[in-house]
Amino acid sequence: MAFIIATSACWSESVRARREDVQLESGWVHERGTKRAARNRRIAIRHPALASLLGYALKHAPGEGELFPAWTNVRRDLHLACAQAGIEPCSPNDLRRTYAKWMRLARVPAEIVAPTMGHRDTRMVERVYGRLSPEEIGSLLSAHFADCTAGVTDKVDLGVKSGRNGLLKTAKNLKSVPRGGIEPPTRGFSVPCSTD
């Protein structure tokens, strides 16, 4: 479990992992993926929590060549481990999601997270693996703009009430941005259709 979270390896990649694939000092790991070319990859483990998990996995891995024996009943074993830990049951893909979520919360761009997971583009990270909740996005934005005041020293009450209904009521009272200006009004992406 620690190896999968630390490296974003899928279940089959974790079973193929060998000791020589991991350079703990430099943080480089070779993932032996076979699903497609992008899955056979080298990644750098730089996140401190992930590096710690990788060290733990190497220390406790029973194999000399291949790190881990075949995991014959992964779902049952994960469910038992989760029950012992007092957490919700999870799957190997949930462990990969943990990797992606931690990377995104550490402000690593999806363009960097995707190839470390063996994806050719960012779509799977954005839609599935590294998807952030509105609260997590708000927290990241707050941290990102913590020092940004734009010269304003007084706090402004926008009158936004918590919850969906409060936000909708507030939105109805806000003035709309006038059309025109720098960008002319548009009809979106629609274009006239010719039936000739």
Q: List, in sequence order, every residue forming a beta bridge with 43; answer none if it has no partner.
A: 29
Which among 128, 88, 134 is positioned nearest to 110, based on CA atoms?
128
| 170: pLDDT strictly greater than 60 | no
Q: Distance between CA atoms of 134 and 76, rounded to whole angstroms?
A: 32
In this prediction, residues 47-66 reach a mean pLDDT of 92
Q: What are the two backbone dihedrals, phi and then psi, of residue 36, each rounded to the nearest 5 degrees?
A: -160, 175
Alpha-carbon distance 160 to 151, whole Å? 22
Q: Which CATH class is domain 2-143?
A: mainly alpha
Using CA atoms of 104, 109, 112, 116 in order, give the dihedral in degrees to the nearest 10: 10
Q: Which of 5-9, 153-157, 166-170 has the highest mean pLDDT?
A: 5-9
- Of 42-51, 53-62, 130-139, the poorest mean pLDDT is in 130-139
pTM: 0.69
**β-pairing, 22-23 with 28-32?**
antiparallel
Does the structure show a pLDDT above 80 at 193?
Answer: no
> Which pLDDT tens digit goes with each residue over 95-104?
999 999 999 9
Residue 70, class by beta-carbon neighbours within 10 Å (0-12 exposed, 13-18 middle, 19+ buried)? exposed
